[in-house]
Chain A
């Protein structure tokens, strides 16, 4: 059961340096591919990215998850800090807002906080509730420019 006193809590800020190799690895994972040569060139090839009008290689749309988990203290300690029961946990919603491009070598500074915690009665089981925890992350780069905003809704069924 999520610990409702954690509403408003901020996790320790993190800094994560975006690496070319991680962008490629992540692109291969979401593209269900075995090698770099099989994914969209702008995720793996600097020249191809520039030719397509990008400053350099860019990550695929859901890459924020990667620095949120590898840059922070990790998913399991975060869930533990929130008192969330792993056996009941579901990912409810995820939303990204893209504010500026991200390239290899950029440093992502992430600040994550718990913005909402609430219960909803289960439709099929009156009296029983599902618990919702909403987490927001603001990410800025090494120049202090906002690059991405992410909102995650976790559900305990």
Chain B
């Protein structure tokens, strides 16, 4: 559980704890396809992506957003989340299990910081900018979230 966090204890510029995912595998992607209902073959069928000259399948952007959401709710209680929006800026290829060097490109590192404290809808809210990048530094997601704090 996250520990109690209050509006007064948070300052603009405070960093969210850095979150590092497990390397994304094809098994994670297949599990996400089934859970979400997104069966675009781009995310599981290598014979499909080869038609477009891509070497391998890519993750759903929404799996990476889901991982980012997990990083956020490891820090902020789910019930405090008011808005969560992202822009997808890079594709994520899964780790190839026969190539240990591919581990870093499939490992998602989520960082963020508080950029604003404000009052809205009668609540004390914070806005944080967030980023998800792979362990090589390639950015996958930029975005922000708004949380209401006690």
Contact among A29, A61, A90 for B72, CB-based, below 8 A: A61
Within A136-155, the residues touching B (CB, 8 Å) are 151
- Would you call B78 and A58 a contact (CB within 8 A)? yes
By beta carbon, the residue of chain A nearest B22 is A32
Kindly list chain A residues whose C-beta atoms are within 8 Å of the C-beta of B85: 93-96, 151
Is A70 part of the contact surface with B, judged by Cβ < 8 Å? Answer: yes
Whether B32 sits at the interface, judged by CB under 8 Å, is yes
B residues in contact with A96, CB < 8 Å: 83-85
Establish whether residues A25 and B35, one from each chain, have CB atoms under 8 Å apart when the complex forms.
yes
In chain B between 71 and 110, which residues have their CB closer than 8 angstroms to a CB of chain A? 72-73, 77-79, 81-88, 91
Contacts of B60 in A (CB 8 A): 91
Judged by DSSP, the binding face of A is mixed
Asked if B66 and A60 sit within 8 Å, CB to CB, the answer is yes
Closest partner residue, chain B, to A153 (CB atom): B87
Q: Are A95 and B83 in contact (CB under 8 A)?
A: yes
Interface size class of B (residues with CB under 8 A): 35 or more
* In the complex, chain A residues 37-68 whose Cβ is within 8 Å of any chain B Cβ: 40, 42, 52-54, 58, 60-62, 65-66
The CA of A25 and the CA of B66, in the complex, are separated in Å by 13
CB distance from B127 to the nearest CB of A (A): 13
**Do B62 and A61 touch across chains, with their CB atoms under 8 A apart?**
no
Are the CB atoms of B31 and A40 closer together than 8 Å? no
- When distances are taken between beta carbons in the complex, the residues of chain A under 8 Å from B67 are 30, 32
Out of A29, A31, A40, A90, name the residue touching B36 (CB < 8 Å): A29
Given contacts A62-B62, A92-B87, A93-B88, contact A87 B82 (CB under 8 A): no
Q: Does A61 lie within 8 Å of B38, measured CB to CB?
A: no
- Complex interface bits, B15-43 against A, C-beta within 8 A gives 1, otherwise 0: 00000011010001001101111111110
> Is A9 among interface residues, defined by CB-CB distance under 8 A?
no
A62 in contact with B66 (CB, 8 Å): yes
The contact of B79 among A31, A54, A62, A89, by CB within 8 Å, is A54
- B28 in contact with A29 (CB, 8 Å): yes
- Choose one: A29, A54, A89; the contact of B66 (CB below 8 Å): A29
**Once the chains are docked, how many angstroms separate the CA of A79 from the CA of B88?**
19
| A91, B73: Cβ atoms closer than 8 Å | no
Which B residues have a C-beta under 8 Å from some C-beta of A? Answer: 1, 21-22, 24, 28, 31-32, 34-42, 51-52, 60-63, 65-67, 69-70, 72-73, 77-79, 81-88, 91
16 contacting pairs across A/B (C-beta < 8 A)? A26-B36, A52-B1, A61-B69, A61-B72, A62-B62, A65-B62, A74-B37, A75-B37, A89-B40, A90-B91, A92-B87, A92-B88, A93-B88, A94-B65, A94-B86, A151-B85
